[in-house]
Amino acid sequence: MTLKIHVDMEKCQHYGQCVFDAPTVFRLNEDDKLEYESTADDSERDNIQLAIDICPMQAIKFVE
């Protein structure tokens, strides 16, 4: 199963906390701006959920 992920870039402040929990999905580029994969394998669900939970701006969510 494929998961769909959305980051509200208006809310995101590029703290990068999500990178620690789900580094295969989230990363900071050379300008320290967040980049992410909009889809991920279901095996990453727990890591992505941790990233959602730890995001200080609550900018990450699963898309139905």
Domains and CATH numbers, the chain: 2-63 (3.30.70.20)
At residue 64, the pLDDT reads 87
**pLDDT band at 46; cut points 50, 70, 90:** very high
pLDDT greater than 90 at residue 48: yes
In DSSP notation, the chain reads -EEEEEE-TTT-----HHHHH-TTTEEE-TTS-EEE-SEEEGGGHHHHHHHHHH-TT--EEEE-
Which tens digits make up the pLDDT trace of 5-36? 999 999 999 999 999 999 999 999 999 999 99
For all residues of the chain together, what is the average pLDDT? 97
Check whether 37 has a pLDDT greater than 90: yes
